[in-house]
Amino acid sequence: MEQNTIDRFLGKYCKIVTKEPGEEKVRVVTGTIKDVDNDAGFIVIESIQGTNCLSMRTIVAIKPSSKKP
């Protein structure tokens, strides 16, 4: 995804759909985007499962959500 697009979601609760290369199924992560590292291509997400780091290359879609657990 485009870097400046992801920057808009910084600090917001979102649903993020990712697909790893070689995998057939997608993975859905919901949580608050805490940090965006455009140089390295990673985003940090705080979710119920803990802190996650996702590669921007694997992101298929991001949808802001108003529902927080």
Q: Domains plus CATH for the chain?
A: 3-64 (2.30.30.520)
Contact 62, 16 (CB under 8 A): yes
pLDDT at 68: 67
Q: Report CA torsion sign: 15, 31, 26, 44.
A: positive
For residue 17, pLDDT over 70 is answered with: yes
pLDDT, tens digit, 9 for 90 and up, residues 26-40: 999 999 999 999 889
Q: Report CA torsion sign: 66, 20, 27, 43.
A: negative
Nearest to 10 by CA among 55, 43, 57: 43
Higher pLDDT, 68 or 8: 8
Q: What are the structure tokens assigned to 24, written together?
A: 């057939």
Question: pTM of the prediction?
Answer: 0.81
